[in-house]
Amino acid sequence: MRCPYCQSEDTQVKDSRPAEDGAVIRRRRVCSVCGGRFTTFERVQLRDLSVIKKSGRKVAFDRDKLMRSVEVALRKRQVDPERVERAVSGIVRQLESSGEPEVSSDEIGRLVMDALKGIDDIAYIRFASVYRNFREAKDFHDVIDEITSGDVVPDPVEDE
């Protein structure tokens, strides 16, 4: 870990403990060169995951991309950032604990939909419009009916 002050890689961990959510480790470090003290937050990664895109291409799973997608759906919505972090961490844990080294982008989309449904209806509709590839206004009505009635509308991705 590089020192943020002098960029030296010669640092020592002085204290290490889990952060509030348990998925992150908080470490207090000191630089052996300049004596600067700083904190790092390190995330435990259970396994490397690959995402299989709809085109069949495989890419490395990127937690930050998942977080950005959720944040785009939640833009300008009053949602506690801690709640968003817990939701994204939960999705990542589900993917890692599945035991599969590869996961489809559709599966990730379904997990995000499930998480957003419990967080914010508007964000759920926004994400659904992209994930389900809405083509007309009726598609929005269908998903709104799904939310208000509690019924689950079949996923058009599965029908193809």
The predicted-structure confidence for 38-96, as pLDDT tens digits, reads as follows: 998 887 665 688 999 989 999 999 999 999 999 999 999 999 998 999 999 899 989 98
**20-24, 49-53, 86-90, 132-136, range with the lowest pLDDT:** 20-24
DSSP symbols for 42-94: EE------EEE-TTS-EEE--HHHHHHHHHHHTTTS---HHHHHHHHHHHHHH
pLDDT-based confidence at residue 158 (cuts at 50, 70, 90): very low
Identity at 50, one-letter amino acid code: S
Q: Find out whether 37 and 62 touch, Cβ atoms under 8 Å.
A: no
Query: What is the reported pLDDT for 19?
Result: 72
Strands 37-43 and 24-31: what pairing?
antiparallel
Q: How many whole angstroms separate alpha carbon 99 and alpha carbon 88? A: 18
pLDDT-based confidence at residue 147 (cuts at 50, 70, 90): confident
Identity at 89, one-letter amino acid code: S
Higher confidence at residue 156 or residue 8? 8
Q: What is the rounded average pLDDT for all residues in the chain? A: 86
Q: What is the DSSP letter of 19?
A: -
Percent of the chain past pLDDT 90, that is, above it, reads 55
Query: What is the reported pLDDT for 160?
Result: 41
